[in-house]
Structure 1
Amino acid sequence: MLQSNNVVLRRLEAADQAALARLANNKKIWDQLRDYIPFPYSSQHAADFIALTRQEPVPMTFGIEARGCLSGVVGLVGLSDVYRKTAEIGYWIGEPFWNQGLASAAVGLATHHAVQHLGFTRVHAGVFAYNVASMRVLLKNGYVREGIFQKAVFKNEQVWDEHRFAFVK
């Protein structure tokens, strides 16, 4: 469990299934995420995802809890081969919890955990060009925009640029 003033990062539990399904079943959330996250998002999707995260030998996917409520998810994916010291971070906050600083707090905690406890020297994120709020979250946490991958993302039947940000230890 990782904790700051306003959020706790903790392993997802079976008891989170209903809240996870309710929060993730939102097109505004899905519009910011990769397509391997299903939409609509069902209770079964939530159960399957929670079960998958429980199999992680080293926890790298966390529920974001604020005021005792599941409010989103943040996860790290360790890369392999010559990139094995790099992790990709992904995160989302449920709409009822937007504009409360929760994403910034969660990304800060997860990034610190990645470089201080998991041995990564670099954490990066790709952000769709239209997701300015996510870009602000990364910048607040010391990430630097490294570049823009032009026309790299196909989402909602449109081609978008992807902005790449990184935090380097």
Structure 2
Amino acid sequence: MPEAARWDAVRLDGAGFVLRRWRADDLDALLRHADDPAVVRGLSHRFPTPYTRADGEAFLAGRVVDLHDPVFAIEIDGAACGGIGARPGVGERARSAELGYWLGQAHWGHGLMTRAVALYTNWVFDALGLHRLQATVLAFNTGSARVLDKNGFLEEGCMRRAVIKDGRLHDLRLFARTRALD
């Protein structure tokens, strides 16, 4: 089975949301939620602002992130309103992955991202045979840090002055969760 097809049938049902593969017909919903400076503020350079139709088409075509990886839409009431995914390591880091996620501002403050990260994290550890899942958070993004903390991720350190965003230097906080040893 081609690597991307591994994830095509995956549907994870959560409390008030579904995690599933991105589809071409998600473009309008993606643009509606992604073209928001408040959303983009806490994300990496791969998430531009303004977020144009061309940006959305490039993302859905797999030219921004590798859609061979388990990269899912967060769907609420039939529409994509955010995303979550893991980028697996290679070689000696093949049992580790980097977690990333975002959510449209209309859905902030209801615990949805905390629930989505919980569901996805439990699934992806088994799906990829991971021993470690890590995430980096811009130091000012306390909401994202809380999501990770509530899901058992431990803060391992700070990468000082690691990112230039909007012309300013920012620290990155590193969080990780590891599989319990049997």
TM range (shorter): over 0.9
Report the Cα distance in structure 1 between the residues aligned to 2:125 and 2:111, rounded to whole angstroms: 22
Once the two structures are superposed, the pairs formed by residues 80-119 of structure 1 within 5 Å of their partners are 80-119=90-129
Q: Secondary structure at the match of 1:115?
A: helix
TM-score, normalisation: structure 2: 0.87
Distance 2:19 2:71 in 1: 9
Q: Is the 8 A contact 2:26 2:79 kept in 1?
A: no
Amino acid across the alignment from 1:86: S
Match of residue 158, structure 1, among 155, 162, 168: 168
* Other-structure match for 1:71: 81
Aligned-residue RMSD, C-alpha: 1.6
1:131-159: CA deviation from partner (whole Å, max 9, x where unpaired): 00000000111110011111111111111
Q: 2:28 maps to which residue?
A: 18
Cα pair 1:71 1:93 within 8 Å, conserved: yes
Q: How does 1:134-145 map to 2 (within 5 A)?
A: 134-145=144-155
> In the comparison of the two structures, how many residue pairs are matched?
168
Aligned partner of 2:86: which letter? L
Q: CA deviation at 1:22?
A: 1.4
Q: Identity across aligned pairs (percent)? A: 35
Corresponding letter in the other structure for 1:29: V
1:79-124 deviation line (CA, Å, top 9, x unaligned): 1121111110111100111111111111112211221222111100
Are positions 1:60 and 2:70 aligned together?
Answer: yes
The TM-score normalised by the length of structure 1 is: 0.93
Q: Output the amino acid matched with 1:81.
A: G
For structure 2, list consecutive stretches of 5 or more residues without a partner in the other structure.
1-10
